[in-house]
Amino acid sequence: MHILAAYDLTGSYRAAAKLAGCSHHTVARVVAEREAGGACPRERRPRTIDEFLPKIEEWVYDSENTIRADKAHEKLVAMGFTGSPRSSRRAVARIKAQYRLGRGRVHRPWVTEPGLWLQYDFGDGPVISTVRGAPVRKSISGSAPVRSTRPSRQASSAAPTCPPA
């Protein structure tokens, strides 16, 4: 939103700054310029990289956002660019950020529906003692019961007998 339109809508420097995406000091300066007689609209100064931006954009899209700024700067210098590596890095970073906007990974939580998925916690499960005294674990899948290798609780609670001497 334009700074003056935001200020006219809200009447507050801070609220207008929030809408316009700038500092409230900037809003105050622009409003003061308008009240002092209206400042002429400012135009952005042309930059040396402006004529090369379509080429940088093409390289970013062709390389699927993997081109490095130093390699792009080398190619630009070969094409006649006279600016600094820093201006090349800024331009490549801005175009790469635009490229990533619609191509980010989407993380969706896995929401299970009741009865659709089997969840198993690998715990001990219910222990059922058998006639022979060894505990048996029942399986959910319906396969044969699995004998436990642990000694039964009944057998371990009995007092050990010593052989006669």
pLDDT of residue 136: 59
Q: What is the pLDDT of residues 10-26, one digit of tens each?
A: 999 999 999 998 999 99
- Residue 9: pLDDT over 90: yes
Q: What is the pLDDT of residues 61-115, one digit of tens each?
A: 999 999 999 999 999 999 999 999 999 999 999 999 999 987 877 788 877 777 7
Cβ contact 92:55 at 8 Å: no
pLDDT of residue 126: 64
Cβ contact 135:150 at 8 Å: yes
Residue 127, H or E segment: strand 127-129
Q: Which residue has the higher pLDDT, 97 or 137?
A: 97
Q: What is the pLDDT of residues 112-133, one digit of tens each?
A: 777 776 666 666 666 666 656 5
pLDDT of residue 68: 96
Of the given ranges (44-48, 77-81, 124-128, 152-156), which has the lowest mean pLDDT?
A: 152-156
Indicate the DSSP class of residue 50. Answer: G
Cα distance from N-terminal residue to C-terminal residue, the chain: 101
Count of all residues that appear for the chain in the document: 165
Residue 73, H or E segment: helix 69-78
Indicate the DSSP class of residue 135. Answer: E
What gap in Å lies between CA 11 and CA 67, rounded to an integer? Answer: 46
Cβ contact 66:39 at 8 Å: no
Residue 136, H or E segment: strand 135-137
For residue 104 the two structure tokens come to 């980010």
Q: Which residue has the higher pLDDT, 164 or 54?
A: 54
Cβ contact 104:65 at 8 Å: no
pLDDT band at residue 57, thresholds of 50, 70 and 90?
A: very high
pLDDT of residue 141: 56
Report the C-alpha dihedral over residues 146, 151, 157, 162, rounded to 10 degrees.
140
pLDDT of residue 98: 93
- Residue 58: pLDDT over 60: yes
pLDDT of residue 81: 96
